Each structure stands twice: as structure tokens, then as C-alpha cells.
Amino acid sequence: MAEIREWQIERFVLGELPGAEQQAVARAIAEDPALRARVAAIEASNREILAAHPPRVAASVIRDRIAAPPPPTAAWGRRVAFAAAASRPGTRRETASTRAALWAFIGGHPC
């Protein structure tokens, strides 16, 4: 087999290579101590990651983040503050058309 790339070793460890390629990489690893050392390092790294982030805990955190409403963005806050300041009576030629344009800008409905 030609040169074994890093991504191939990682997919080999995960069992994600197609059958013939998985077997070819296995043969290359059996013949090359440097490849065996790389496989051992990846396996050790995988164990460390799984110990630090158990799948059940990680899945729970992901589910909680998906279910939670998104936090407001800074841009949204600036838009609201801008619209509120600009629509106050007596500020810079405040008109109905100005208010309507600002509400359209922030995605709301003109009052």
C-alpha cells in the first residue's frame, strides 16, 4: 500500500475505512513500528477524551443546548437601543416614516 496518511490512521482506529482499505492499512500497521506507535497514541487520546467527556454527559449537554433558546446577540441589542432612542419624541426630526423605517430595520412592526 502507498503512504498511509494521518486521516487514514484515524479512520482505521475508528473502523471507518471501507473493508479492503481497512485490511490494507492493518497490514501496513503490522509491518511498521512508527504506524503502530501512531495508532497507540490515537487510542490513548481517545481514552483520555472519553474519560474527560463521557458520552452520556456530553449527549445530555448537547440536548440541553439544543433545547435552550438562543441567547440574544449584541447586534440585536444595538438595534433595539437605536430604535428606542430614535423613536423618542423630540429626537432629531422624529416622524412616522422614521419610526416605520426603524421598525422595519429591526424586524418588528411599525406602531
Angstrom CA distances, 4 to 15, 23, 39, 47, 57, stand at: 15, 12, 12, 23, 34
Predicted local distance difference test score (pLDDT) of residue 34: 95
Predicted local distance difference test score (pLDDT) of residue 61: 87
Predicted local distance difference test score (pLDDT) of residue 85: 62
Average pLDDT over the chain, rounded to an integer? 80
pTM for the model stands at 0.55
Q: What is the DSSP letter of 17?
A: S
Give me the residue label for grid cell 467527556. Answer: 53
Report how far residue 38's alpha carbon sits from residue 51's, in angstroms, rounded to the nearest whole number.
20
**What is the average pLDDT across 2-12?**
92
CB 41 within 8 A of CB 25: no
12 has a pLDDT exceeding 70: yes
Predicted local distance difference test score (pLDDT) of residue 84: 63
